[in-house]
Amino acid sequence: MNFELTEEQLAVQQAAREFAQTELLPGVIERDETQTFPLEQVKKMGELGFLGMMVDPKYNGGGMDTISYVLAMEEISKIDASASVCMSVNNSLVCWGIEKYGTEEQKEKYLKPLATGEKIGAFCLSEPEAGSDATSQQTTAEDRGDHYLLNGTKNWITNGNTASVYLVVAQTDREKGHKGINCLIVEKGMEGFVVGKKENKLGIRGSDTHSLMFTDVKVPKENRIGDDGFGFKFAMSTLNGGRIGIASQALGIASGAYELALAYSKERKAFGKPISQHQAIQFKLADMATEIEAARLLCFKAAHLKDQKKDFGKAGAMAKLFASKVAMDTTIEAVQIHGGYGYVKEYHVERLMRDAKITQIYEGTSEIQKIVISRELLK
Ligand code: CAA
């Protein structure tokens, strides 16, 4: 077992840190307040290779390992979790899904521009009445010979308006249950596809979350991913990897809040000395640092298993379950350490606290992670 990062991994970490500090930090408070998507910054992330990090270079990707992806996600999430959720969905749900299960034509047409950020992707599984219970798809993809007729509504879709390539999960044959579900690649501009309202959210307010409506959208058969009926397995298998991305996002939110609290505790004086010299604060910092380190190791473990092409479903679920709790706990303590200043926007920690909550909800709630983990334990 080797706990050292390679030179390449350290370089990726450094590049992501610099990018986050110079490009994402300015304006992050205003973007949160005005719910503005960091479009220019995301374009630059694409140019720097952060949107297709693990994609094979023959499809314009960075050909990097998953550990590098965890490192970059952590650094970007420390500063702007709205940018990092866009990055996570594009990398680990959309690019990975098409690269792993798509046809050569789909990779040429869709993966190549997605890997460079020329196009942004969205993953469309959740519906008004199918969140955790993902097999209850009400969106239908009726088989019409050479195409599917897509009808239905998707909810809470990350990159909903910014994306131009959408992986849409829909029911083709209800009698077959989850084996009658397909995943179709839908392009923005297809007739009958409308982007709905933007959500006004508690956290990650700069991210672009929309509902989507499909009315008799004709999707060519060649846009189906995998065999007929593979859509649910596709979604589950893709989410296994997505959860490593969200675990890393949670890790970054936690470590960002910790770094701010540590620095503040050395500056702020109370009772004649910096608050970092009071044991009440020291114990908080010790707990935060220990939990963050444990979350980081779980992320690395899941990423390592994925890179070794071993089963990583349980490890990814454990990483997400744990890191998202650490994000919540750490950000609450970071606000506490900042006292009154923690409750106002200029000090960033209140935003990180609001951003942390979603990591316990999307890409499978913490309760769903426990289902995934316990099923593996009881196999
Ligand atoms: N990996 C691979 N395959 C899996 C799997 C996994 N983690 N979980 C289930 N499957 C397979 C099963 O093996 C089964 O296949 P077979 O019948 O061939 O054996 C099939 O899928 C159906 O599985 P279940 O019978 O276990 O299905 P279920 O109805 O009991 O549900 C569940 C399982 C784990 C609860 C699943 O519904 C689930 O993960 N729900 C959460 C959905 C979710 O994460 N949504 C996130 C939305 S995307 C998002 O948030 C993106 C964003 O914008 C940030």
Domain 7-120 has CATH 1.10.540.10: yes
Nearest-atom number in ligand 1 for the CA of 242 is 51
Please give the model's pTM, rounded to 2 decimal places.
0.98
Mean pLDDT of 206-223: 98
Q: Is residue 300's pLDDT more than 90?
A: yes
Nearest-atom number in ligand 1 for the CA of 157 is 53
pLDDT band at 81 (very low <50, low <70, confident <90, very high): very high
CA distances from 42 to 35, 83, 217, 226, 258 (A): 15, 7, 29, 30, 25
Mean pLDDT of 46-58: 98
pLDDT band at 291 (very low <50, low <70, confident <90, very high): very high
Domain 236-377 has CATH 1.20.140.10: yes
**Average pLDDT value for the chain:** 98
For domain 122-232, the CATH architecture is: Beta Barrel (2.40)
Mean pLDDT of 80-84: 98
- CB neighbours (10 Å) of residue 6? 12
Q: Is residue 17's pLDDT more than 90?
A: yes
**In angstroms, what is the span from residue 364 Cα to ligand 1's centroid?**
9
> For ligand 1, atom 9, which residue shows the shortest CA distance?
236
Judge whether 86 and 76 are in contact, CB under 8 Å: no
Among the listed residues 294, 283, 313, 322, the one whose alpha carbon sits nearest the alpha carbon of residue 377: 313
Q: Where are the domains of the chain?
A: 7-120, 122-232, 236-377
Percent of the chain with pLDDT strictly greater than 70: 100
Nearest-atom number in ligand 1 for the CA of 158 is 53
Q: Is 195 left (phi over 0), alpha (psi -120 to 50) or beta?
A: beta
Q: Is residue 1's pLDDT more than 90?
A: no
Q: Is residue 103's pLDDT more than 90?
A: yes
Decide: 239 in ligand 1 pocket, CB within 6 A: yes
Render pLDDT for 139-170 as a digit per residue (tens, 0 to 9): 999 999 999 999 999 999 999 999 999 999 99
CA dist 68 and 63 (Å) reads 10
Nearest-atom number in ligand 1 for the CA of 243 is 44
Catalytic, 8? Answer no
Q: How many helices (H) and strands (E) does the chain have?
A: 13, 9
Decide: 237 in ligand 1 pocket, CB within 6 A: yes
> For ligand 1, atom 53, which residue shows the shortest CA distance?
158
> For ligand 1, atom 8, which residue shows the shortest CA distance?
236
Render pLDDT for 122-145 as a digit per residue (tens, 0 to 9): 999 999 999 999 999 999 999 999
> For ligand 1, atom 4, which residue shows the shortest CA distance?
236
**In angstroms, what is the span from residue 178 Cα to ligand 1's centroid?**
9
> For ligand 1, atom 27, which residue shows the shortest CA distance?
135
What does the CA dihedral 315, 135, 100, 77 come to, rounded to 10 degrees?
A: -50
Judge whether 171 and 232 are in contact, CB under 8 Å: no
Of 191, 363, 367, 376, which is the active-site residue? 363
Mean pLDDT of 333-339: 98
Could you give the 3-state DSSP secondary structure of residue 48? coil
